Structure 1
Amino acid sequence: MRLFLDCEFTELSAAAKLISLALVAPDGREFYVEVIGTWREYDCSYFVKEIVLPQLWAGEYAMPIIEARKALLQFLATYDEELEVVTDAPVYDWELFCELAYHDGKWPKNVRNFPTDATTLTAMNDGEELPHHALLDARIIASMFTARA
């Protein structure tokens, strides 16, 4: 089973901090979380302040990292089959996913320990800009592959 991953984060650098993470599955299940307490607005690039932060949903989606990790692991555990994580930005999104998914020296047993780069599977899109909201972007990326299946 493929899960399509997208993340929003503070800046394009090795110091990037996770802001939000989404997974979309072809079976319609979705996971979305906004991490609070691990980053501040001053950590963010101008682009993130102007484009990403105004789109955050907050409310039930916003939670501290410990709760976000627990929610992610519970979501992943709902699948019996092996999960292949597909992302268009493995250098950033995969690393941030790993930081959230890897806990207490354990990796989720049903998740492959390497990503699939969506850009190697097919032409990503027709040049249209993604909205830079983790869940909306993950839905778009998933639709590019599930529509062809």
Structure 2
Amino acid sequence: MSLLGLAAAFNSAALAQTLSEPPAQRPAGSKPARIATGLVTIESDQQQADQLTGVITATGNVRIVYPDERVVATARQAQYFSQEGRVVLSGDVDIVQEGGNLMRAEQVVYLVNSERMQAIPAQGQQVFSRVVIPPSSSQSPAPAKRAR
């Protein structure tokens, strides 16, 4: 699930750029490969960075847009602990990915290096996730046509 790509929003310098194939080399009707830009937009009421601790904090109406992973996350606060490689989104966290993937929790902790995520509900509540699983290409093949 690419919702985990959200953490790369805070570590965008580590992203490798990919190049799209020239149109002449793509099969007819296929879409060009997306170019990874590493671009992340973080909007909030306030943002601060502490150079000594390596902690970046965005507070109040936080909205993070990470186009490379087609992810938009909202929360009341977002913190990136650069020395630990940990991202913490807190307060009414919604993470939405184009295509239908969704997660709602009170807090989401993502460990960048191990690509592990933990969603924590508000007291007395539950975490909500919706994951769209694409149909497998190994499903039953179309029926063969009968010879006449």
TM-score range normalised by the length of the shorter chain: under 0.3
Task: Name the TM-score, length of structure 2 as normaliser.
Answer: 0.23
Which structure: greater helix fraction?
1
TM-score normalised by structure 1 residue count: 0.23
Structure with more strand by fraction: 2
Structure with max Cα Rg: 2
Higher relative contact order (CA 8 A, sep 6+): 1
